[in-house]
Chain A
Amino acid sequence: MGNTVLVVDDNQAMRQALSRLFKAAGGFEICGEASNGAEAIKMVLQHKPGLVVLDLCMPGINGLETARQLQLMSHPPPIILYSMNAEEIVAKDAYESGVSALVSKADGIRTLINKARGILQQSAA
Chain B
Amino acid sequence: MNSGSFSNEDVGPDSMANPAITDLDVVVLSPFGKDSALIGKLLRQSGVRCHAMANADALIAAIPQDSGAAIISEEAMWERDIALLGGKLESQPQWSDFPIIVLTGGGMSTDETEVAVRARAPLGNVTLLERPLRAATLVSAVRSALMARRRQYEIRDHLRQRELAEQALLEARDRLESMVEERTAALCRLSAQLLSVQDEERRRIARELHDGLGQYLAAAKITLDTLMISRPESESYLGDVEQLIDHAISESRTLSHLLHPPLLDAAGFASAATWYVEGFGKRSGIAASLELPDKLGRMPTSVETALFRIMQEALTNVHRHSGSRKVDVTLDTDDSTAYLTIKDFGKGIPKETLEQFQQSGTNVGVGLAGIRERVKELGGVLEVQSSKKGTAIRVTIPIAEPGRNVFAAPSSQIYSSFAT
Contact = CB atoms under 8 A, between A and B. Distances in A.
B211 interface: yes
Contact of B266 (A14, A25, A88, A110): A88
A17 B253 contact: no
Interface residue tally on A, bucketed by range: 20 to 34
Contacts of B225: 21, 108-110
A85 B254 CA distance: 11
Given A17-B226, A24-B230, A106-B249, A87 B216 contact: no
B263 interface: yes
B210 A84 contact: yes
B266 A90 contact: yes
B219 interface: yes
Interface in B198-229: 210-211, 214-216, 218-223, 225-226, 229
A124 interface: no
A42 interface: no
Contacts of A106: 249, 253
Contacts of A57: 210-211
A117 interface: no
A88 B264 CA distance: 10
Nearest to B252: A84
A24 B216 contact: no
A84 B275 contact: no
Interface string B220-264: 111101100110000000000000000001000100000000110
A16 interface: yes
B327 to A, nearest CB: 23
B188 interface: no
A110 B382 CA distance: 51
B297 to A, nearest CB: 16
A52 interface: no
B223 A20 contact: yes
Q: Is the interface of B mostly helix, strand, loop or mixed?
A: helix
B219 A84 contact: no
Contact of A11 (B216, B226, B266): B216
Contacts of A110: 225
Interface string B263-280: 100110000000100000
Contact of B229 (A11, A25, A84): A25
A52 to B, nearest CB: 17
A11 to B, nearest CB: 4
Contacts of B219: 11, 13-14, 16-17
A18 interface: yes
Nearest to A93: B266
B262 A24 contact: no
A8 to B, nearest CB: 14
Given A14-B222, A21-B226, 7 more contacts: A11-B215, A11-B216, A17-B220, A17-B226, A24-B226, A108-B225, A109-B225
Interface of B: 210-211, 214-216, 218-223, 225-226, 229-230, 249, 253, 262-263, 266-267, 275
27 contacts: A11-B215, A11-B216, A13-B216, A14-B215, A14-B219, A17-B219, A17-B220, A17-B222, A17-B223, A17-B226, A18-B222, A21-B222, A21-B225, A21-B226, A24-B226, A25-B226, A25-B229, A57-B210, A57-B211, A85-B262, A87-B262, A90-B266, A90-B267, A105-B218, A108-B225, A109-B225, A110-B225
Interface of A: 11, 13-14, 16-18, 20-21, 24-25, 57, 84-85, 87-88, 90, 105-106, 108-110
